[in-house]
Structure 1
């Protein structure tokens, strides 16, 4: 597992460099069949990642967002990779820094390994569930851990694109909320894993490749990602679609 984690970390770092090169050169934004945006950064980063995973671990199937969008769906096995080469394409296209590269490993329906690069922030987060989570930034590596919510209330990170959804305000009314921040991409999970936030409620659409890697990092840091029924968010669902979920630090 350590070798697989090192592989995933290396590939998210390499993909991050590709994405930042595209950003510097300029790019066009196209629309996929489901009307979500895609850029050459998505496709170049994914090509690098899937080639690297398949070369290094050919026995582990790779399910990657842009391949699925193009109609290439690799059959999963008990253990498989989930890849989102550019999580937060809308943020990337808008010139914001809230985008990420996600590589997660699923085993028996559960995320067990995750690597997430935040290219514009110069950060990489990675973790093995049951063994710990880490952040690499500016050449320094540090172990990270989720926190228990402080007495003054929850620090909540929520989706930028659902900031005006009345369901979010209604849902949060049942909690004591000290701070609310709306941002894009997997960064919400990562701030919980670092122990600087407590709760990320997701009441809108996500796909499994959006969440596998950052969920693994959060759970490796001691947090949890639960469905409305209070069960852990699991993988291998029809169409790779997630239900509403709630990500927590220590509970």
Structure 2
């Protein structure tokens, strides 16, 4: 994990150098924005993973957009070099570097680094989840094991800052959420893992590289991510009849697994 943390921090340093300068934005085939920070950070991560784990294939956002997709494998990395490109462009700081490891459809390890905020989170199945501050490129003041809490009577929800949908709003209202906050990128999962929020509903489009690393952190902290059918969110989805490869269905992330079971009837 130490090497993955160093790799995420290295990619983050490149992103911050561009963040401090002029940000040139172009558009991918699907109309989503992409910047030099996305491509340069991904190149750093791909090079590093090839050295760290040369036998494990990598599915990376910008590589997939360019048509470079590895053959299916039970064990593979999912990489989003800059999750929250819109947050990066608007300079609100809520963007992240994401490296997740998948094993037989489940996220088993992940690193989420928010370079502009100086925050990093990581988790490994069976070993727990952690958070720390990054100062001058080094991990400082480790906050210790992230902790999911049992869902309280008055729920605290977090949802997308840039991609809020009416379905998400309606779901939050049905649950009677008292406290609501918006946040960018994969930080929403990390807020739950750290016990700062209880639930994150996402009734909008996401891709596997958007969620894998933070999903791994949340699961390592004791939480869970399920689809609207109540099944765990799985990874490595190819040849989907209703959507493109690696696209996620709608999902709900929560720190309390029993709570997710209790609201199953409201997920549909």
Which residue, 237, 241, 251 being the options, matches 1:245? 251
How many angstroms apart in 2 are the aligned matches of 1:57 and 1:162?
34
Kept in 1: contact 2:157–2:172 (CA 8 A):
no
> Which string of whole-angstrom CA distances, capped at 9 and with x for unpartnered residues, describes residues 41-73 of structure 1?
000000000000011211000111000001111
Q: TM-score normalized by structure 1?
A: 0.95
For 1:143 and 1:171, the matched residues in 2 are separated by 30
2:152 matched to 1:150? yes
CA contact (8 A) 1:84 1:210 kept: yes
Q: Are the counterparts in 2 of residues 79 and 106 from structure 1 also a CA contact under 8 Å?
A: yes
Tell me if structure 2 keeps the 8 A contact 1:63–1:76. no
What residue number does 1:166 align with? Answer: 166
Give 2:83's match in structure 1, choosing from 81, 87, 91: 87
Distance 1:8 1:75 in 2: 23
**Residue of structure 1 in register with 2:141 after alignment:** 140
- Whole-Å Cα distance in 2 between the matches of residues 161 and 128 of structure 1? 29
Partners of 2:91 and 2:170 in 1: how far apart? 31
Residue 169 of structure 1, CA deviation: 2.3
Q: CA RMSD in A?
A: 1.0
For residue 199 of structure 1, what is the aligned residue in structure 2?
Answer: 199
Task: Spell out, residue by residue over 1:175-203, the C-alpha distance to the aligned partner (whole angstroms, 9 max, x if none).
Answer: 13121112210010000000010000000
1:56-71 equivalences in 2 (<5 Å): 56-71=52-67
Asked if structure 1 preserves the Cα contact closer than 8 Å seen for 2:100 and 2:216, the reply is yes
Gaps of at least 5 residues in structure 2 are 135-139, 239-244, 259-268
Q: TM-score, normalised by structure 2?
A: 0.89
CA contact 2:86–2:162 (8 Å) conserved in 1: no
- The answer to whether residue 3 in structure 2 is matched with residue 7 in structure 1 is yes
Q: Output the CA distance in 1 between the equivalents of 2:169 and 2:65.
A: 33
* 1:72 equivalent in structure 2: 68
Q: Distance in 2 between matches of 1:167 and 1:59?
A: 41
Verify the 8 A CA contact 1:15 1:85 in the aligned structure 2.
Answer: yes
